[in-house]
Structure 1
Amino acid sequence: MIEQTENRLSVAEAQNICLRNNIPFYTYRLPGSREVIFGAQLSNDTRIFKGFEKHRGEKGFVITPFNHSSWSFPFFIKADLSFTDYLTDGEAIRNLQNTVFNTPERIFTKQDCEHFEYLDELRTMIDTLKREGMKKAVLSRTITIPCDSLRLSPAIFEQMKQYHHAFLFFAAIPGKCAWMGASPETFLKYDRNGFFTMALAGTQPVATAKNPPEWGDKDIEEQQIVTDYIQDTLRHFFTRHLEIEGPITLQAGNVFHLCTFFRSDEQLPADQIDELVGQLHPTPAVCGLPKKRAMQIITEIEKRDRGYYAGFLGPLQASGAFDLFVNLRTMEVFDDALRLYVGGGITPLSDPETEWQETCQKADTLLNLIRQMNYGKITF
């Protein structure tokens, strides 16, 4: 049970108020940190994110879609109110409690892809990659759990705190989108020390992997594709210094990944940051290579819009610093359901059943949290 006194509001209680009153809000915890940051926009205007140059000097949260040409738009949630762990300002608490907006409900409609259907999609993608001589594309699916999601979501976010090395997030724009997850993958970090990003690809379940894991040709090739793409992109922007470390094995929940880190202490003007982001997103880790054709294949084979899955999201500071992460190990929050999104990198060497099992292992990062809450029987 969430405890609240008159002049002390927890993050979970603030989330409940915002979900009940249709207030745009965000919550996050950076990897390795213990601090949970909450922010709310106390106006009902939908703010489109127009790039880092346009939002210079603003504090808030960015959430962008996988494909900018889809029906989904990049949004910015402005931090009219923000606090860390607990809000103790009585006037601010009352202001939040008394803010109420009317927005349409978000009810899920589309059904999930069954096992045999996903295997058919995988075979089609593998055949396409072989026929066209492509290196990689990413296929995803969903797992939908009908439930009282608005009540359960704050409690699930609390349970996610056990994933200490992930980026935890819960961001919602009522009537537009609501997403929550524990992402293992940095998209791009920027502060006064410079830039940081990573190439993350290849997957093995922790329960069955050797210690250290032994990586097969498919995983090594997949990770190298992502590494080469990011390295080539960064070298167009960072001409003086680019540090590369890896690949190393990184644990994310119940799976291992191969990971390569990239760092540069160079600074870039805001317009070049926007250009860098535009060239990096989406990386082959969530899309494929060549990028344009991979996105076409994904649209043709998946037959459903990813929305904000595999997009990027994270906090933006007034100083211009930001911490952006890929929207992975994630679920979409509807008014009447939670929908998990999982996927995997497909190469000509992929085996369909192995790829299906990989999505099951990745889904367990969030499904295990729901199981711990004893919420009914969950099957997928």
Structure 2
Amino acid sequence: MTDTEKLAHLLDKLLAKNCSFAVWALPGSNTPEILLTDQEDMIYPSQLNKLNGQEGFVFAPYHIEEDKPLVLLKPGIYQKGVESILSIDVDQLTMQKTAQQTQPKHIIIQKDDYLKSIETTIETISTSKLSKVIVSRLIPHARGDESLGSLYMQLLQQTPNAMVYLVNLPQAGLWMGATPEVLLKSEGKTIETVSLAGTQSRRSDSDYSWHTKEIEEQAFVSRYLLDVFYRFNIHPYTTQGPETLESGKVAHLMTSFRFAAKKLAHKLGDFVADLHPTPAVCGYPKSRADKFISKIEQHDRRYYTGYLGPWRLNESVRLFVNLRCMEITPENYVLYSGGGITSRSVPEDEWEETINKAGTLLSAIEAVQKK
């Protein structure tokens, strides 16, 4: 049995015992990390700024609510690297209780309904002060008897430039994803955040041309970040981009912003709370877009377009926006996929974009199911 197979088997055993854990690998790294904790040792802050002074792994929803809490896994067992993770004796871990909670209702809409919602969105943008809105939908795919551990390893192999994760939490459920979007990266003396928006299918020759619609869509996000910088008196800062970022089956426009970490020495939680949700997952202006989303989307986003990642582990913070993700139920993989709608959007193209974005996860599922 290879190390990859051994790690997949270990993850399956953790799930069989319903252990609370997060396993992840950072973009550009083939080194997985894992954090396990007892259910009693997890905390559910009402606001992100309550995390000041804490450390662990954060899993946050789109909006914090009683049935969708912000979760922090405290470091019970923390291991980095395949060899170290395989040293965990799962047989010594206690079987965890299944949380008593109402199963979320996943509302699946058909193509015609999605196209109508996009048409309504475009019309609203054309006649109001809205500039951009993210409209998402759910895509179900039936589960078989495949190993979720093997699926995670397949996803990790396919998307090396994404944050690839698997989490199992009593109050949030079972989630897996491969997200390319940095919300905040803090290491040493520098903090980085990213403006990422605009999507097209990945090209084999990496020769991309970007249209006005995608350029404008990404510019909304960059403008918003600068507004947040102004509120927190962040200057000077450096930028890199816009440039193309390839991830899975698609490519995006990305600009990176970097500034001195001392600017947020005691306000990192407040900064993230103000930053999220960015126009990349909500729209612009943010408050108007958020209200519109609550009316146009029939489903609950739950942890889709929230954020996740290690918080002050090894003296660093690596938070990622929860895109290219799916919630795993006993019967289905429920994929969440959306697109940025502007006045230049074409409804049929937006439908295809949601399919392309879901392709990152679907290709991994299909590869494992065919074995």
Q: Same fold (TM over 0.5)?
A: yes
Q: Distance in 2 between matches of 1:65 and 1:105?
A: 16
Please report how far the alpha carbon of residue 212 of structure 1 lies from its aligned counterpart in structure 2 after TM superposition.
2.4
In structure 2, C-alpha distance between the alignment counterparts of 1:144 and 1:238, rounded to whole Å: 44
Q: Secondary structure at the match of 2:279?
A: coil
Identity of aligned residues (%): 33
Q: Which residue of 2 aligns with 1:352?
A: 347
What is residue 277 of structure 1 aligned with on the other side? 272
1:136 to 132, 153, 161: 132
Partner residue of 1:22 out of 18, 28, 32: 18
Say which SS state the counterpart of residue 137 (structure 2) adopts: strand
Of 103, 122, 127, which aligns to 2:123?
A: 127
CA distance in 2, matches of 1:29, 1:101: 27
TM-score, with structure 1 as normaliser: 0.89
Distance 1:106 1:182, change over 3 A: farther
CA spacing shift, 1:269–1:318, aligned 2, 3 Å: same
CA 1:106 to 1:52, structure 2 compared with 1: closer, same or farther past 3 Å? closer
Task: Give a deviation string over 1:88-144, Cα, whole Å, max 9, x none.
Answer: 787854432x34324348756434111111001111111111111311000001111
Alpha-carbon RMSD across the aligned residues, in angstroms, is 2.6
1:38 to 15, 34, 37: 34
Q: Distance in 1 between matches of 2:153 and 2:274?
A: 35
Decide whether the 8 Å contact of 1:32 with 1:165 is kept in 2. Answer: yes
1:31-70 correspondence to structure 2 within 5 Å: 31-44=27-40, 46-49=42-45, 54-69=50-65
1:241 and 2:236 are equivalent in the alignment? yes
Structure 1 stretch 83-92 or stretch 216-225: which is displaced more? Answer: 83-92
2:172 maps to what in 1? Answer: 176
On the 8 A contact 1:108/1:336 being kept in 2, the answer is: no
Q: How many residues are treated as equivalent by the alignment?
A: 369
Tell whether the 8 Å contact from 1:240 to 1:266 is kept in structure 2 after alignment: no
Match of 1:222 among 214, 217, 224: 217
SS at match of 1:133: coil
Is residue 100 from structure 1 mapped to residue 91 from structure 2 by the alignment? no
Equivalent in the alignment of 2:306: 311
Change (3 A) 1:41 1:69: closer
Deviations 1:244-300 (A, max 9, x none): 111111111121111111011232456411221121100000000111110111110
Would you say the 8 A contact 1:108–1:334 is kept in 2?
no
Q: Give the secondary-structure state (helix, strand or coil) at the position aligned to 1:256.
A: strand
Correspondences of 1:323-362 after superposition (within 5 Å): 323-362=318-357
TM-score relative to the length of structure 2: 0.91
- Unpaired segments ≥5 residues, structure 2: none
- How far apart are the structure 2 equivalents of 1:58 and 1:318? 9
**Inter-partner Cα distance in structure 2 for 1:70 and 1:346:** 30
Q: Is there any run of 5+ residues in structure 1 with no aligned partner, and where?
A: none
- CA offsets 1:17-57 (integer angstroms, 9 cap, x no match): 22112221000001111210011112345520355654455
- What is the SS of the residue equivalent to 2:97? coil
